Amino acid sequence: MSVNPLNRRIMLVDDNEDALRTLCLLFENAGYEVECVTDALIALDVAKRFLPRVIVLDLGMPALDGFALAEQIRRSAPLRETRLVALSGWGHDESRKRAREAGFDRHLVKPSSFGEIRDTVEAMMR
């Protein structure tokens, strides 16, 4: 099955610059078109311009957390079909419930292997 190149677009949002940089490089090396953002306050505008198929975002970020950002993405017409994956150290039941309510499609708990994250992204692109 061939994947449309537009569907290989992913966006990663995390305030941890080192972790973000590493994950971005891994996805780029795996053949994805990647946009990486450390500031959740500008992530919505970047997403509207980039139009990713999947956005992987941290939940615990300063100024605007991943829950609020997900809600903004879900209200944005050009991003309504974008799939959302939470990648966070917050794995307890309440965080998972809040993530579902905010519009996330999946919730991964850090630390997650690149293979697990990549497999989740691939599944979201189908």
25-67 pLDDT tens trace: 999 999 999 999 999 999 999 999 999 999 999 999 998 999 9
* Cα separation, 15 vs 60, whole angstroms: 8
Query: Considering the entire predicted model, what is its pTM?
Result: 0.92
Segment 85-109 mean pLDDT: 92
Q: Which domains does the chain have, with CATH numbers?
A: 5-125 (3.40.50.2300)
* Cα separation, 121 vs 39, whole angstroms: 21
* Cα separation, 96 vs 106, whole angstroms: 9
C-alpha torsion sign, points 63, 69, 71, 72: positive
